[in-house]
Amino acid sequence: MAGRGAGPRRPATRGLAASLVLLGVAACHEAPSACFITGVSVADAPDQPGLEARGLDRDDLRRAASEALGRTAGFRLPPAEPSGKMPRCQVTVSLLDARPLVQGGGASQVEALVGLSVTVGEEGEGAREVARYAETVRAGEGSRETLQRAIEGAASRAAAALALGFAESAKPDSAVVRDLDSADTRLRDLAVRVLADRKNSAAVPALLQRLSDPDTEVVERAVGALAQIRDPRAVGPLIALTQRREGPFVTQLVLIIGDIGGPEAIAYLDTLASGHPDPSVRKAAREALSNLRRRSGAGGSAGRR
């Protein structure tokens, strides 16, 4: 699964890598390109009112998820039969949020946020996608009906994203690297997640190009992928990225640079530790240097472990 570490790491660095890589689909190296859904269950979302408070029940949510999956290429549900060696999958659906919206022109809408989680086979490998969708309240329509349609739209988006993620995870590395140049932001994003999971250093040059991606989320995921792979070639470009960003993100970049290590990282961190105007960045640089030197003193390399 995406987010597996290569070894012990500081919580601050691991947390950033996880947050940048695991948003949305959790890509699996051996994920199928399609699966047979054996069951759909409903999970209660924490800190959210129950379905009943919105005029719905669990069957409404289960039905919306099942119908969305049934319409999506890559999923098959009973009474259809699985084809070939299609793996069996279990799906969990949850309503994470639902709220009324008021547009500038006065037309009211209802927005739903739905999560779909797919568990593949007996090993429990799988993926999760969250999607939101808003529907306008029609004349004479109650909020329950509008919410139901919003849930159906969100479930369809989540199912489509899951199918796309499974298809991406089933591709060979060379094809995933090519997708990093796709005009589709969603596909670039998925490609970064898959490459982060696989930790193939051959993908580093292509991931470095994503540090200049026009979509900031893709940039942040690329940073997370490079943090997972921990190849010294990433140090220079990550240093350059710190000069284009500010705030807490720079502090986290400093920790990642230190975690990768190497002479270039040491020189950069030493400069930051003594002269950066932001005290939080100076503190992060000192912490990163301390850990780097401790690893070196223990007989390990200050570069990639």
| DSSP conformation letters of the chain | -TT--SS---HHHHHHHHHHH-SS----TT--S-EEEEEEEE-PPTTS--GGGGT--HHHHHHHHHHHHHTSTTEE-TTSPPPTTPPEEEEEEEEEEEEEEE-TTS-EEEEEEEEEEEEETTTTEEEEEEEEEEEEPPTT--HHHHHHHHHHHHHHHHHHHHHHHHHHHTS-HHHHHHHTT-S-HHHHHHHHHHHHHHT-GGGHHHHHHGGG-SSHHHHHHHHHHHHHH--GGGHHHHHHHHTT--THHHHHHHHHHHHH-SHHHHHHHHHHHHH-S-HHHHHHHHHHHHHHHHHHHTTS-SS--
Residue 4 lies in a domain: no
Say whether both 153 and 224 belong to one domain. Answer: no
| Residue 17 and residue 44 in one domain | no
pLDDT band at 137 (very low <50, low <70, confident <90, very high): confident
Q: Do residues 142 and 45 both lie within one domain? A: yes
Query: What tens digit of pLDDT does each residue of 95-135 get?
Result: 998 888 776 665 688 899 999 999 987 766 678 899 999 99
Q: Are 194 and 273 members of one domain?
A: yes
Per-residue pLDDT for 19 more than 70? Answer: no
Domain-ending residue, one of 169, 198, 232 = 169
Instruction: Looking at the structure, tell me whether residues 208 and 153 fall in a common domain.
Output: no
282 with 213, same domain? Answer: yes
24-38, 243-257, 259-273, range with the lowest pLDDT: 24-38
131 with 222, same domain? no
Q: What pLDDT, on the 0 to 100 scale, is given for residue 304?
A: 45
268/203 same-domain check: yes
* Same domain as 154, residue 215: no
Question: Is residue 302 pLDDT above 60, yes or no?
Answer: no
Q: How many domains does the chain have?
A: 2
Domain containing 227 equals 11-25+188-297
Please indicate, yes or no, whether residues 149 and 203 belong to a single structural domain of this protein: no
pTM assigned to the model: 0.69
Are residues 165 and 117 both part of a single domain? Answer: yes
Statement to judge: residues 20 and 67 lie in one domain: no
Residue 239: pLDDT over 70 = yes
Does residue 5 form part of some domain?
A: no
- CATH no. for residue 97? 3.40.50
Q: Where does the pLDDT of residue 240 fall: very low under 50, low under 70, confident under 90, or very high at 90 and above?
A: very high
